[in-house]
Amino acid sequence: MAEVLVFHHGHGLTAGVREFAEQLRRAGHTVHAPDLYEGQVFDSLEEGAGYAENAGFDTIIARGTAAAEGLPAELVYVGFSLGVLPAQKLAQTRPGAKGALLLEACVPISEFGGAWPKDVPVQIHGMDADPFFAGEGDVDAARALVETATDADLFLYPGDRHLFTDSSLPSYDEQATKQVNHRVLGFLDRIK
């Protein structure tokens, strides 16, 4: 079973992110889901993004890095949208990473050193017409990562919803999320 560090998206640590973490626990994994927003959850993505901007994206990443301190090095990092920033950084730069699951976002690997570690498998999930994932270059960064990484998969789902994997938000897509969850659990089951 894997030990997993889950980073929430721009709304904060929502009930949907907590439910995702609980699903992984029920499958036998050890899961940590820190709150990078210090207890705040926002109804709108715009409010949550405003909070992240005011705090500073470097601060959000630093909070994620701090959450990993004291945990074993052998973690799988999971990020939802904004949470991909600390997840991807740690997967790329913290020795011992066992894998990364990047949900609904991906940044160019050059942001965190320019190379994806050869021994770190990664899955990236997003909707093919999501205005953030597909429209702001994340899907291009994901394709580039897949081309350079040894063990990488990009899964695109039909639709235009952002944060489609969070069951507590109106953008939730149950059918697509079932596919994501199946693939995520399969990914974690092969981590040694």
Q: How far apart are CA 12 and CA 17, in angstroms?
A: 9
Residues of the domain holding 18: 3-189
Percent of the chain at pLDDT > 90 equals 97
Q: Is the pTM of this model over 0.85?
A: yes
Residue range 43-62: mean pLDDT, rounded: 95
pLDDT at 192: 75
Residues 80-139: tens digit of each pLDDT: 999 999 999 999 999 999 999 999 999 999 999 878 999 999 999 999 999 999 999 999
DSSP codes of every residue in 27-82: TT-EEE---TTTT---SSHHHHHHHHHHH-HHHHHHHHHHHHTTS-S--EEEEEGG
Specify the number of domains making up the chain. Answer: 1
pLDDT at 116: 95
CATH number at residue 89: 3.40.50.1820
